[in-house]
Chain A
Amino acid sequence: MLVALILLVPLAAAAVSATVTWRRGVGWLGVGSLAGVLAGGVALAARVEHRPAITAWGGALRADALSAFMVVVIGAIGLLATWQSVRYLDAQIATGHCSRRHATLYAVLVQGFIAAMLLAVLAGNVGVMWVAVEATTIITTFLVGHRQTRGALEASWKYVIICSVGIALAFLGTVLVYLAALHAGAGTHATLDWTSLMALSHHLDPGVMRLAMALLVLGYGTKVGLAPMHSWLPDAHSQAPAPVSALMSGVLLTVAFYALLRFKAIADGALGVAFPRALFVTAGLLSLVIAASLLLSQRDYKRMLAYHSVEHMGLIALGAAAGTPLAMAAVLLHILGHGLAKGVLFLASGEILLVEGTTEIDQVKALLARRPALGGIFAFGLVALLGLPPFSLFVSELNMARAEVRVGLGWVVALSLACMAVIFGAVLSHGRHLLFGARGEGEAAHRTPSIVTVPLVGALVGCAALGVLAWPLDGLLRAAAQVLVR
């Protein structure tokens, strides 16, 4: 019941938003819907943390600790993004860039996008999950192109073409898993259920599973933004409206990664850990190298953040490659920490674009002096993203590295540290330019409205709290990691 309810909340909000013309109240309804999702996620987590998975709708929906954790992630970052959407749409309408009809469309699509992501993590069946992930591509295409500029349309084109090919490969991978499951003796129904696939995993044909896993890593990896299929990501994330960038970077990438984590658990059973580990290490290292080499030359702060996503997806791929319970718990914590930090940064960058009118790093100077609150949020966001204490990304990166060393991937840790050092330097030099400096003669410091500061500061405090206190997530993370490791 609870599982179905979580899914119905954003759908109901979408239906209501579609029937009335846009006004602020509709925006707050969206925020309320996400608050409901977050509360539902917490309630779900409390129910499944120590108990077996619960199902609904005849097994079509299924929630275990891992799904509950992902619902919490979607709820938390979705709450931030819808909160800022109110501000974004107000500003767009005030400047005449966007009609009320367009604002309505935006509100409906955002709720639909959230519902599709929730379906992906709550689906009990790999086929339904695939359909949900593909639905996110179709919905977000219109959100990426929402500003209707040439750049935005170009980004949407690349996004839908590249991600459709990727997701098609993931479908082929799913078909091959189905084939292997049929031959391993499962009945014709239920062969695509997580539960039966996990139970069967030791009997799946290794030859077919090897091909399937390679296709799945390539296919879902496209949506995750893992190299070599990452090229859509910087364009889409830099051209989309800021709240959409925050959702896409903060949660959509990791929802696709969730699919990979589930399939990896099955492949580990069928093939042993070596082959999936090799795939994840290759994709992860390649992503880190590409992020490091391209971050140096970025002149646009939204593209800089986008390449940062490629880096972090690479890091969690390496963590998942290690695959121990410690590593998986760290991967999941990193998913939440990265989502919060990246969400804050993209939303702050949307506010910078709004008040400064440019996304060029060169054009924005001395943010800390001129706009102390906004500059401060951006600065702390960068600190969090670079993996410095007290933020949770420090803890999760440290634990992933520890786990990797323990399974004999020390050389991978060494290489990834080298890439991270380059990225650290690049972001530091970009950030210094953006943040520091003195304000002009006679220019007063600008205030930033509380609709921006309250949610973003709240998210940063949350991210720091997760880094300092193990409670309240510790038990849930352990339980979720246990789902993936046997």
Chain B
Amino acid sequence: MSGPTYTSALELAAGLVILCAVVTLWRRSLSAIVKALAVQGVALGAVALILGLHQRDGVLVTVGCLVIVAKGAAIPTLLARVLASDRRGRETAPLVNVPASLVGAGALTFLAYGATRPVVALVATGAGRLIPLGFATLLIGFFSMVVRRKAASQIVGLLLVDNGIALVAFLATAGVPLLVELGASLDVLLVVVVLRVLAVHLWSKFAVLDLDQLRELHD
């Protein structure tokens, strides 16, 4: 892949990643949020795939395919199972309402552009200009973990943080060494499995899925 096609494909995929992050703040139905997350996973894999094709790097292409399978299919399926145990399935009372959250997302994007200036300056390629989008996705994930109260929403926030970081890693360095990349992806998968086990325990033993109900431990 070369020239303008490469650049616009890369921009499209990276743009889709942050767009999906914004959608998770905008929608309140948890199943819609999980769908947005699946699309984001595919877009993230596409970024790696496009970079890999452009640089004729077989390893990166493989990583891209793996990311699409793991983050586009496996993790959303696991999350959907967590949601199946929760009948209401809506983020009922976020601490910050939707319009304010969207404004917050905009502000975080500005912040991301400011904070990443030295990184963008160092990379100095077409891909490098898109790095702030990864940081913005990360910050939106953080934000959503703080303001959302459902157990499932917190997992979504964590995955946004992780996808943002993966986007930065692909754009800045065309992927860290394969061993580390695979370790990192496997870890995320395991964390989601662990959280799912915990959520099922909490739900079946103590009927807890809202974090507001987790009030036993405090000072």
> Taking chain A's interface residues, is the majority helix, strand, or loop, or is none over half, making it mixed?
helix
Residue pair B217, A235 in contact (C-beta under 8 Å): yes
Give the Cβ gap from B218 to chain A, nearest Cβ, in Å.
9
The contact string, 1 if C-beta is below 8 Å from chain A, for chain B 189-219, is: 0110011001101100110100000101101
Instruction: Determine, out of B23-31, B95-103, B177-185, the stretch whose residues face the partner at the interface.
Output: B177-185
Residue pair A175, B154 in contact (C-beta under 8 Å): no
Most buried by A among B117, B162, B165, B208: B165
Residue pair B122, A234 in contact (C-beta under 8 Å): no
Residue pair A179, B122 in contact (C-beta under 8 Å): yes
Residue pair A165, B176 in contact (C-beta under 8 Å): no
The one of B161, B176, B201 in contact with A127, judged by C-beta atoms closer than 8 angstroms, is: B176
B12 within 8 A of A: no
B6 within 8 A of A: no
Which residues on B sit within 8 Å (CB–CB) of A210?
A: 118
B173 within 8 A of A: yes
The one of B122, B151, B162, B180 in contact with A208, judged by C-beta atoms closer than 8 angstroms, is: B122
Known: A127-B183, A157-B214. A298 touches B122 (CB 8 A): no
A280 within 8 A of B: no
Which residues on B sit within 8 Å (CB–CB) of A151?
A: 216-217
Residue pair B168, A160 in contact (C-beta under 8 Å): no
The one of A161, A182, A238, A297 in contact with B195, judged by C-beta atoms closer than 8 angstroms, is: A161
The one of A172, A192, A298 in contact with B219, judged by C-beta atoms closer than 8 angstroms, is: A298
Number of interface residues of B (CB under 8 A): 43
**Minimal Cβ-Cβ distance residue in B for A151:** B216
A292 within 8 A of B: no
Residue pair A207, B118 in contact (C-beta under 8 Å): yes
Residue pair B122, A207 in contact (C-beta under 8 Å): yes
Known: A131-B187, A165-B142. A153 touches B161 (CB 8 A): no
Give the Cβ gap from A143 to chain B, nearest Cβ, in Å.
12
Which residues on B sit within 8 Å (CB–CB) of A176?
A: 119, 172
Which residues on A sit within 8 Å (CB–CB) of B158?
A: 161, 164-165, 168
Residue pair A138, B187 in contact (C-beta under 8 Å): yes
Q: Report Cα–Cα, A183/B201, bound state, in Å.
A: 48
**Minimal Cβ-Cβ distance residue in B for A206:** B118
Residue pair A153, B118 in contact (C-beta under 8 Å): no
Give the Cβ gap from A374 to chain B, nearest Cβ, in Å.
26
Most buried by A among B162, B173, B205: B173
A49 within 8 A of B: no
A128 within 8 A of B: yes
Which residues on B sit within 8 Å (CB–CB) of A85?
A: none
Which residues on A sit within 8 Å (CB–CB) of B176?
A: 127, 174-175, 178, 192
Give the Cβ gap from B55 to chain A, nearest Cβ, in Å.
12
Residue pair B187, A157 in contact (C-beta under 8 Å): no
Please list 25 pairs of residues, one from A and one from B, whose beta carbons are closer than 8 Å in the complex, sorted by A's number: A127-B176, A130-B184, A134-B187, A137-B191, A138-B190, A142-B194, A145-B198, A150-B202, A153-B201, A153-B205, A158-B214, A164-B191, A168-B158, A168-B162, A171-B165, A175-B173, A175-B176, A176-B172, A179-B119, A179-B123, A189-B177, A192-B177, A207-B121, A235-B217, A298-B219
By a beta-carbon cutoff of 8 Å, the part of chain B in contact with chain A is: 115-119, 121-123, 138, 142, 145, 151, 154, 158, 161-162, 165, 168-169, 172-173, 176-177, 179-180, 183-184, 187, 190-191, 194-195, 198-199, 201-202, 205-206, 208, 214, 216-217, 219
